Structure 1
């Protein structure tokens, strides 16, 4: 009779050997073939998610006679933001499931399948299928989103010099998908029918899942996944996680049966939860006996950087609602007499990042030790985000309340958003991984996602004040406040540099 411990040990050895073979592979541009698998998956996942998000608020606000849901624009914007908050809150849970229950491969696979099912339901022209599809997309994205980048990291040993270049290739896949999604799904949704756009997103996600499964033999992380599954026990943490997932899905599903007042109340609850979660996480860090004095001192600059992340994304996430409505109803969407869908502006951020990403990376390398401190970079990215809204405010002021904006105002706005995303997200992510206390290192991404959820939760309330007649004031106030915070962060960089004991 086989010894169970010996059998498990043999399995771990076999899986470790598989991982080493994967990591030594150089068949894809000098990288493991698994990178091509994850590159393709992320293209299709971003294509499907950003494609459907580009038309979601417009679909909610369109008249029922036109195939829409008939909500007021403010309500539609709030719903989209609330769903975004749920996605990021469930991403915290998705990371925990991968770390403690089934490993990254299965978590990503199940997430992809659930997302694809959600998009299929979104493609069915019925109110119930819309809400049910959204609930599935929230759950599936929460499982997939935090774990795909982890799978990229698993392709390389910690000493592998190809690691950074591999992530650069992977992130180019994100930008390609982010570019194509709004172009294709946006055109189909606005020119043919909303559910055609959602259907395109479904096709993209199905393609992503298929090529992920076909390329699974080239992925690493097998030993870690085997150990996770072997060690799993259904403890209190597991049942708490199941409860959180159920609560999030129920919250998403409640939109199906609630009237407009009930929907607004539910959005408010989601906003409150999104505010509580990051605060609780930071307090737990500050009060934990496992956190050293030096690490505790880092929590202040850590919090200031997270505020910048929240402030910038408060601008960026409105590409799916208020900026989307401005593009649809208050912008001349034509070039030399040729008209184009208003959702196409959303693809501009991806174009900026595809072009400027390598340029920025080269700049930082060239500057070496003379490059700006990470706090200054985060501050600069925040300024770019605020400047994007100031541009729209200026355009609205110059054009007048009833006049249409020239397309150039939105083009400049999206260029600033793309630059801000490029500078802030990369620098901010790097800083938070170094500033987080060691005892909470595995939860660094959870705090990051909590901050993103907070941005969406705040946005769900702010978008209620948007009106075309006060567009200059709406965008101007937000833009000015965010620019001011970015400037403040850059101004106190010398002080932050002294406090950031774990950041060079």
Structure 2
């Protein structure tokens, strides 16, 4: 029997030269990101204003939730590859996400009630499990629409990632406005409507997938275990039971932190053991270069992801949000990053290609250093733009901070997974991809810890306290970024790029990076 990966896509009708199934997946992912970022825009405000969490406790909960979001695709992707196939995984994940947002919309009258808070944790846990299935599989479905040697594959991912950022732009605007102006249940409800729309579209337009994403072994999937339940439904039920585990972990952020730390240490030890115990010099050097990039990864995301926590609270309390006669809710500002990616992504892509043609393109480790310097510069711009006590920070400096952070993201995110796939031996590519997402999860947890530090000793953030933390992390980030750029030539030599290809290969790599540059925080890269 041919495996799913061996089945060639079937020719069918196209739109602008691409299979129509691509635009179905564009639609699904757009609505999934709409719901995710729309909910995330409200999360920190819901915790502090509805449940009356201190800034510190809210930041810890936010960090634990985001960490689990980034870990869940590892298990969801495994179950999709081994049992369900990507189509069933996307459908199941979308339904579970929609249920999670509906639960979040069941706003309790008494924000402090244990039942209301329990429902809230349950909603988040449900979204985590659903995201694990959908995010791990929807990008894989894009690739299955094209033969491996089809020159349309890279442009297809660019179109797909545009859907990601369109959804990430619209979600905070619509859900954020409804949630902070009309009521929390309106905002969370809008997020659920978006995901429901994606699920309905996916079900109705299934033929557009041209048979892609089906289970690798349908007969085995339909087998009954113990004569009672099919293997497929066993996967579904066990996955739903894992919601209870996520429900517990979100409330125990310290446990999540220790789990991430332990897993990270094990991965470092394993990489070193592989490098020095099983590889020749070139392979060992490349693994050490990959380890260096993996260490930089959580440093960047720990700072960058202040967007959804401490930076949102700062914007709400201390920024002048009066624009064109309208008092803009702080949650809506979380759309700025995705909008900047849509605007500047093609510009940076063209820049890398132009520099590569002249042999001037920065190396991958140098881009990582630039990313750290830019994210640090963003915080310093905000600090510099904040006036005397009692005055509001001009909104211009919020936009400038997001611009610096977005440019930093465009230096790091699109090339990260590409570097992992190039540096790892073929037998370890999947593992290295998983380790990359583990590092991102560690960064999300670190973001919660940094945001908690802005809360001060009593857990409540003051303007001066937040600015002091921002100033410190800004200078440290720039300093570390400069160090990374200084040692980038050494790390580049460890990568042995000359063994891959010459100048033409370097230009081709810049082209591949440019096609992925509108990706969303490293999620679902090809």
Which residue of 2 is the match for residue 260 of structure 1? none
- Of residues 195-204 and 450-459 in structure 1, the stretch that sits farther from structure 2 once superposed is 450-459
Which residue of 1 is the match for residue 96 of structure 2? 114
C-alpha spacing 1:242/1:277, structure 2 compared with 1 (3 Å): farther
The number of residues matched between the two structures is 471
Which of 147, 171, 175 pairs up with 1:185? 175
Which residue of 2 is the match for residue 254 of structure 1? 248
Q: TM-score, normalised by structure 1?
A: 0.87
Distance 1:244 1:292 in 2: 42
Quote the offset at 1:186 in angstroms. 0.4
Which of 376, 379, 390 pairs up with 2:380? 390
Say whether residues 1:310 and 2:298 are aligned partners.
Answer: yes
Q: TM-score, normalised by structure 2?
A: 0.83
**2:363–2:488 contact (8 Å) kept in structure 1:** yes
Quote the offset at 1:251 in angstroms. 4.4
Which residue of 1 is the match for residue 477 of structure 2? 482
Which of 358, 369, 383 pairs up with 2:346? 358
Say whether residues 1:273 and 2:263 are aligned partners.
Answer: no
CA displacement, residues 41-62 of structure 1 (integer Å, 9 cap, x when unaligned): 1110110000000011101100
Distance 1:389 1:242 in 2: 44
Distance 2:492 2:13 in 1: 39
Quote the offset at 1:380 in angstroms. 1.5
- Of residues 195-204 and 456-465 in structure 1, the stretch that sits farther from structure 2 once superposed is 456-465
Question: What SS does the corresponding residue of 1:125 show, helix, strand or coil?
Answer: coil
Which residue of 2 is the match for residue 198 of structure 1? 188
Question: What SS does the corresponding residue of 1:474 show, helix, strand or coil?
Answer: helix
Two-structure CA RMSD over aligned residues (Å): 2.7
Which of 358, 379, 390 pairs up with 2:369? 379
Which residue of 1 is the match for residue 208 of structure 2? 218
Say whether residues 1:402 and 2:390 are aligned partners.
Answer: yes
**2:144–2:213 contact (8 Å) kept in structure 1:** no
Which residue of 2 is the match for residue 20 of structure 1? 9
Say whether residues 1:498 and 2:493 are aligned partners.
Answer: yes
Say whether residues 1:424 and 2:412 are aligned partners.
Answer: yes
Which residue of 1 is the match for residue 58 of structure 2? 76
Quote the offset at 1:30 in angstroms. 0.6
**1:123–1:195 contact (8 Å) kept in structure 2:** yes
Which of 432, 457, 466 pairs up with 1:471? 466
Q: Per residue, is there more helix in 1 or in 2?
A: 1
Quote the offset at 1:472 in angstroms. 1.8
Quote the offset at 1:473 in angstroms. 1.3
Distance 1:271 1:436 in 2: 27
1:130-169 alignment runs, 5 A limit:
130-169=120-159
Quote the offset at 1:326 in angstroms. 0.4
**2:364–2:419 contact (8 Å) kept in structure 1:** yes
Distance 2:335 2:341 in 1: 10
Question: What SS does the corresponding residue of 1:403 show, helix, strand or coil?
Answer: coil
**2:59–2:309 contact (8 Å) kept in structure 1:** yes
Say whether residues 1:442 and 2:425 are aligned partners.
Answer: no
In structure 1, list runs of 5 or more residues that go unmatched.
1-8, 63-67, 257-262
CA displacement, residues 6-48 of structure 1 (integer Å, 9 cap, x when unaligned): xxx3xx49x7897421xx4461221111110110011101100
**2:57–2:452 contact (8 Å) kept in structure 1:** yes
Question: What SS does the corresponding residue of 1:20 show, helix, strand or coil?
Answer: coil
CA displacement, residues 338-369 of structure 1 (integer Å, 9 cap, x when unaligned): 32111122111111111111112222222234
- Of residues 98-107 and 204-213 in structure 1, the stretch that sits farther from structure 2 once superposed is 98-107
CA displacement, residues 156-179 of structure 1 (integer Å, 9 cap, x when unaligned): 222111111001101111110010
**1:118–1:132 contact (8 Å) kept in structure 2:** yes
Distance 2:213 2:190 in 1: 36
Which residue of 2 is the match for residue 60 of structure 1? 47
Which of 332, 335, 347 pairs up with 2:323? 335
Distance 1:352 1:16 in 2: 35
Distance 1:93 1:248 in 2: 11
